[in-house]
Amino acid sequence: MATEIERKFLVDRLPDLSEATATQIRQGYVTHPDDSCEVRLRQRGDRYLATIKSGSGLVRGEYEAEIGREAFEILWAGIMGHISKVRHTGPLPGGLMYELDIYQGPQAPLVTVEVEFTSVSEARAFRPPAWFGREVTGQRAYSNRVMAIGETNAA
């Protein structure tokens, strides 16, 4: 399982997206928000992916594999909840990339931005641009799985 080091922020104002690539994303969750790992299905344009994530916060384990459309559609029938969003991927100063998500459906008008890093020290040293808003890394309410499925009463 690979390690994902990522910070997530709300967006105060949309940046210039002219250098960004936009992709429609639909993702659904096989696991409940209270489960110890996350199993997600994602359609990103014409690609179909299955992902397993562990942990929470800044550093998480992540394994992702491409699957066929037929397998995706069969598995999609078993999801517990889903979200739709348009992801804009673009450059930041210093060679970093942002992934800005504009949510659709029940999560609209939410807009978040994530940045992945190669180390914890790089993540901690990152100074967000002025258009980034409040940091929500590790905050349960901004987990895509929680937004897709909803909060639970389990402790």
Residue 63: active-site member: no
Stated pTM of the model: 0.92
How much is the pLDDT for 56?
86
Phi-psi region of 147 (alpha: psi -120 to 50; beta: other; left: phi over 0): alpha
From 29, 48, 103, 142, active-site residue: 29
How much is the pLDDT for 151?
60
Q: Give me the average pLDDT of each 10-residue run along the chain (155 residues).
A: 94 95 97 90 97 93 96 96 97 95 96 97 97 96 92 42
**Domains of the chain, with CATH numbers?**
2-149 (2.40.320.10)
Sequence-distant (6+) residues with CB within 8 A of 95 are: none
How much is the pLDDT for 34?
85
Strand 47-54 to 59-66 pairing:
antiparallel
